[in-house]
């Protein structure tokens, strides 16, 4: 799976524009097929690590070791699913230096799969960092007007975070004497060392996530990146951060995680509310969606740090759902950007009249982003809020507020772009979706609905791994406040979620 895009990348770099597009599409489709095959063959409930591949001594001090568990499987499937869509999304939008562009995207694919499949600490780091270079080029060469500032900010922010993680990794290797991730997962680091390691990893992953207050690179990068770049950035790259949380920080440093969960909760609460409010006042569509990404990722971190089964499963579903939905939303923006070349919300209006199909899709993804029942967003938010509530009702309360605000800014965006009078002439002239855009939006919509209606097919492979993580955390976990009054929590939970859903229903009903 790593080899296909790698070979494709080399071929693209030397091929002509047209050929490069075809090669890239072919390579990503082959990988998609391989990903689906892998999913089909994945033995749910079998060994924790499957499809292992190990070449000892290939790199001397560290090994070339690959292998996946359920969580990694789902994220790899997400990456290979989004990749061909990204290539299609840039089919016409990218006209200069197509070969290089496609090569960069295929390298990104190698890197993403590598990050999720690496079973060796250093190999993970190499893949994790390697993503910077192609993304730097993608933003810098094919980005918008202010692309250079955005590319620099993206590169330096993420680099600064990850070098601290490298120091922590060196310390871990020294302490445990191995770079093998499955071994490290069950190694017990001394508690005070855990705190330092946790903080170093946090510095890196929080930037990648991104968490408030180190999220500022994200709106810049998203706004300046080309459509497909935003899709892959929001869809997969942000997931590397949360993948790092669940793969490294929680099982490797359980005591520190329990000790510092309040830090994560505090930052997440601030992020949910603050970024939602910021999103409300954005006039740039991409920026709005970028801020909504930060808010969603904050719910992910809060869900993960609920340190219980529902919370983590919910967070994972949000990761997958957000990967699909935000990529789709960015593409929706891209569709109209290609027609009018502006992302100003005020320049649009009344699209429902002349672009009905587009309006339908946009509506579906807006609803999924808000978390309407029946869409992917609902399942994840419900589960993670249930988990958070078990850990702390206050945090759950604040996060729920964020979801209400989320409904507010997304619907506000939708109303301004799609509804209203169709007055502007240039907007009137915009044609509806073409077949290529259909081909991109339809699979995204199908997956978003599938995840909302039958999430079990996505949850099943991950459940065992989440249980493992929870078991690892169990000794250190503090008791949640929901358990204080026996018998009551269940009822209280139901009420709380009833309210959240009611809001969503209500908000949905308004329009």
Partner 1 sequence: MTADLALIWPELILTIGGLITLMLGTFAGDRQVGLYQLAAMVTLAAAAAAVVTFFGTDTTVFSGTLSVDSFGGFAKLLIYAASFMCILVAPRFFKDSMRAEYPTLILFAALGMGIMASSRDLMTLYIGLELNSLAAYVLASFMRTDDRSSEAGLKYFVLGALASGMLLYGISLLYGFTGTTDFAGIAKVIGGEMNIGLLFGVVFVIAGLAFKVSAVPFHMWTPDVYEGAPTPVTTFFATAPKVAAMALLTRVVIDAMGPAVGAWQQIIIFLALASIILGAVGAIGQKNIKRLLAYSSINNVGFMLVGLAAGTQQGVEGVLTYLLVYMVTTLGAFLVVLQLRDDQGNQVESIPALAGLSQRRPGIAAALAVFLFSLAGIPPLFGFWPKYLVFEAAVNANLVPLAVAGIVASVIGAYYYIAIIKTMYFDDKSDTEFPKGTGTVVEDAVITASALWLSVIGYLFIGVLGVLSASAASVLF
E strand or H helix that includes residue 59: strand 50-59
Q: Which of 164, 263, 345, 449 binds partner 1 (CB under 8 A)?
A: 164
By three-state DSSP, how is residue 31 classified? helix
Q: Which of 22, 36, 58, 494 binds partner 1 (CB under 8 A)?
A: 58
Task: Return the structure tokens found at 417.
Answer: 């772009």
By three-state DSSP, how is residue 25 classified? helix
Q: Site residues for partner 1, window 317-376 (CB under 8 A)?
A: none
Q: Which of 2, 7, 29, 159 binds partner 1 (CB under 8 A)?
A: 159
Phi, psi of 43 (to 5 degrees): -90, 100
Instruction: Say how far apart CA 451 and CA 470 lie, in whole Å.
Output: 23
Report in angstroms how near the CB of residue 259 gets to partner 1 at its nearest. 21
Stretch that binds partner 1, among 32-40, 127-135, 428-436, 496-504 (CB under 8 A): 127-135
Nearer to partner 1, 64 or 419 (CB): 64
| Residue with the two structure tokens 């699913």 | 81
Instruction: Say how far apart CA 348 and CA 367 lie, in whole Å.
Output: 20
Confirm or reject binding of residue 148 to partner 1 (CB under 8 A): yes
Stretch that binds partner 1, among 31-39, 121-129, 404-412, 417-425 (CB under 8 A): 121-129
Nearer to partner 1, 13 or 476 (CB): 13
Confirm or reject binding of residue 160 to partner 1 (CB under 8 A): yes
Confirm or reject binding of residue 151 to partner 1 (CB under 8 A): yes
The closest alpha carbon to 67, from 121, 119, 123, belongs to: 119
Confirm or reject binding of residue 166 to partner 1 (CB under 8 A): yes
Q: Which of 132, 270, 280, 439 binds partner 1 (CB under 8 A)?
A: 132
Confirm or reject binding of residue 141 to partner 1 (CB under 8 A): yes
Report in angstroms how near the CB of residue 61 gets to partner 1 at its nearest. 6
Q: Which of 51, 59, 187, 450 binds partner 1 (CB under 8 A)?
A: 59
Q: Which of 33, 37, 54, 167 binds partner 1 (CB under 8 A)?
A: 167
Stretch that binds partner 1, among 55-63, 231-239, 299-307, 484-492 (CB under 8 A): 55-63
Report in angstroms how near the CB of residue 495 gets to partner 1 at its nearest. 48
Q: Site residues for partner 1, window 78-107 (CB under 8 A)?
A: 97
Report in angstroms how near the CB of residue 174 gets to partner 1 at its nearest. 6
* b/e map 211-236, b = 16+ CB within 10 Å: bbebbebbbbbbbbbbbbbbbbbbbb
Task: Return the structure tokens found at 176.
Answer: 């445990």
Confirm or reject binding of residue 147 to partner 1 (CB under 8 A): yes
Task: Return the structure tokens found at 236.
Answer: 């997969």
By three-state DSSP, how is residue 53 classified? strand
Confirm or reject binding of residue 155 to partner 1 (CB under 8 A): yes
Instruction: Say how far apart CA 153 and CA 239 lie, in whole Å.
Output: 19
- Residues with Cβ within 8 Å of 401's Cβ and at least 6 positions away in sequence, in order, are 272, 273
Confirm or reject binding of residue 136 to partner 1 (CB under 8 A): yes
Q: Which of 36, 54, 163, 495 binds partner 1 (CB under 8 A)?
A: 163
Task: Return the structure tokens found at 61.
Answer: 């001090």
Question: What sections of 209-348 are H helices per DSSP?
Answer: 217-224, 227-232, 238-244, 250-252, 254-280, 285-304, 309-340
Confirm or reject binding of residue 3 to partner 1 (CB under 8 A): no
Instruction: Say how far apart CA 177 and CA 167 lie, in whole Å.
Output: 15
Question: What sections of 15-146 are H helices per DSSP?
Answer: 17-41, 70-89, 98-117, 121-130, 132-142
By three-state DSSP, how is residue 57 classified? strand
Q: Which chain residues interact with partner 1 by CB under 8 A?
A: 57-62, 97, 122, 125-127, 129-130, 132-133, 136-137, 140-141, 147-148, 151-152, 155-156, 159-160, 163-164, 166-167, 170-171, 173-174
């Amino acid at each position: 799976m790593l080899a296909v895009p790698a070979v494709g990348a080399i071929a693209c770099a030397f091929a002509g524009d047209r050929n490069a597009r075809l090669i890239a599409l072919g390579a990503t489709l082959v990988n998609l097929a391989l990903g689906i095959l892998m999913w089909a063959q994945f033995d749910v409930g079998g060994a924790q690590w499957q499809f292992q591949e190990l070449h000892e001594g290939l790199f001397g001090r560290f090994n070339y070791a690959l292998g996946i568990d359920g969580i990694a499987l789902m994220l790899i499937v997400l990456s290979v699913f989004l990749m061909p869509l990204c290539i299609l999304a840039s089919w016409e939008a990218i006209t200069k230096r197509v070969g290089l562009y496609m090569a960069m995207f295929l390298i990104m694919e190698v890197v993403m799969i590598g990050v999720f499949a690496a079973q060796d600490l250093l190999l993970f780091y190499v893949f994790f960092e390697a993503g910077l270079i192609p993304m730097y080029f993608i933003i810098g060469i094919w980005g918008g007007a202010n692309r250079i500032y955005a590319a620099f900010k993206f590169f330096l922010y993420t680099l600064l975070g990850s070098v601290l993680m490298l120091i922590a990794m060196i310390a871990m290797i020294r302490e445990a004497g191995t770079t093998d991730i499955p071994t490290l997962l069950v190694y017990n680091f001394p508690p005070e060392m855990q705190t330092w390691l946790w903080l170093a990893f946090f510095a890196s992953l929080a930037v990648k996530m991104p968490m408030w207050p180190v999220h500022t690179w994200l709106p810049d990068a998203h706004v300046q990146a080309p459509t497909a770049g935003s899709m892959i950035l929001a869809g997969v790259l942000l997931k590397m951060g949360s993948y790092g949380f669940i793969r490294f920080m929680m099982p490797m440093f359980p005591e520190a995680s329990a000790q510092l969960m309040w830090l994560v909760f505090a930052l997440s609460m601030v992020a949910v509310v603050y970024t939602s409010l910021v999103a409300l006042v954005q006039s740039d569509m991409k920026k709005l969606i970028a801020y909504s990404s930060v808010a969603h990722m904050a719910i992910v971190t809060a869900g993960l740090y609920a340190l219980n089964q529902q919370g983590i499963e919910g967070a994972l579903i949000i990761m997958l759902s957000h990967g699909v939905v935000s990529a789709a939303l960015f593409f929706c923006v891209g569709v109209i950007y290609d027609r009018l070349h502006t992302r100003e919300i005020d320049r649009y209006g009344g699209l429902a009249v002349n672009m009905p199909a587009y309006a339908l899709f946009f509506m579906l993804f807006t609803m999924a982003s808000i978390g309407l029942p029946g869409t992917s967003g609902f399942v994840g938010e419900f589960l993670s809020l249930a988990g958070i509530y078990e850990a702390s009702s206050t945090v759950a309360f604040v996060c729920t507020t964020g979801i209400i605000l989320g409904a507010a800014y997304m619907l506000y965006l939708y109303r301004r772009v799609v509804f209203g009078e169709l007055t502007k002439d240039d907007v009137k002239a915009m044609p509806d979706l073409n077949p290529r855009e259909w081909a991109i939006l339809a699979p995204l919509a199908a997956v978003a609905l599938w995840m909302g209606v039958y999430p079990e097919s996505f949850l099943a492979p991950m459940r065992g791994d989440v249980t493992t993580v929870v078991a690892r955390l169990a000794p250190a976990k503090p008791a949640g406040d929901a358990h204080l009054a026996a018998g009551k929590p269940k009822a209280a939970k139901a009420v709380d979620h009833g309210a959240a859903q009611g809001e969503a229903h209500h908000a949905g009903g308004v329009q």
